[in-house]
């Protein structure tokens, strides 16, 4: 795999006017990323992360070391979302990438998730990955499932009742896959 050296932000117009910039995560981003992380995890409907985690525990899980990559999406008003990506498995499975995404509540519905998803796919292709796999997309997260399908992912399996949704009870987790 090639080492990714994208230090220049990539811009994407969303909603016809807003510009979402995506750039490499830097340590000073953590307070803003932590705010989004806490918001998303506290909702309890998309990630199986522990809402009791400290900032340090969350940072260890979210900020990827090489060969992984973490980015932030922002505009003039501040941080809109974040994504992390890297190999899905080590060794013989390292040719398949994975990625995770979080968008601030105030930025949802503005194309930020799509911009981060397209970025992750582009990054994975540039790194020479053969495919991208999402291991745990909550089946009741219809917005994410639809977005990933629009970006070419297929549901290749569902683990029944694998996620304890706060309102719906136990729901399935989709495994989604796309060749690059």
Which segments of 5-130 are extended strands (E)?
Answer: 10-14, 18-24, 69-75, 78-87, 96-103
Q: What is the pLDDT along the chain (180 residues), one digit of tens a residue?
A: 333 334 334 555 545 545 899 999 999 999 999 999 999 999 999 999 999 999 999 999 999 999 999 999 999 889 999 999 999 999 999 999 999 999 999 999 999 999 999 999 999 999 999 999 999 999 999 999 999 999 999 999 999 999 999 999 999 999 999 999
Rounded to whole angstroms, how far apart are CA atoms 129 and 67?
Answer: 12
Count CB atoms within 10 A of the CB of residue 72. Answer: 23
pLDDT attached to residue 76? 85
pLDDT attached to residue 118? 97
Closest of 50, 68, 71 to residue 164, by C-alpha: 50
Structural domains in the chain, sorted by start: 10-129 (3.40.630.30)
């Amino acid at each position: 795999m090639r080492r990714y050296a994208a230090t220049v932000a990539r811009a994407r117009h969303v909603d016809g006017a807003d510009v979402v910039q995506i750039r490499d995560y830097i340590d000073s981003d953590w307070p803003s990323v932590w705010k989004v992380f806490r918001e998303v995890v506290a909702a309890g409907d998309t990630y199986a992360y522990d809402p009791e985690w400290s900032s340090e525990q969350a940072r260890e899980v979210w900020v990827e070391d090489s060969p992984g990559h973490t980015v932030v999406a922002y505009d003039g008003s501040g941080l809109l979302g974040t994504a992390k990506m890297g190999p899905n498995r080590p060794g013989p499975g390292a040719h398949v990438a994975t990625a995770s995404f979080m968008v601030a509540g105030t930025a949802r519905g503005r194309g930020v998730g799509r911009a981060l998803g397209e970025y992750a796919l582009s990054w994975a292709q540039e790194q020479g990955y053969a495919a991208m796999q999402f291991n745990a997309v909550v089946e009741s997260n219809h917005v994410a499932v639809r977005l990933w399908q629009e970006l070419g992912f297929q549901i290749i399996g569902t683990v029944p009742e694998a996620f304890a949704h706060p309102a719906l009870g136990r729901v399935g987790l989709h495994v989604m896959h796309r060749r690059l």
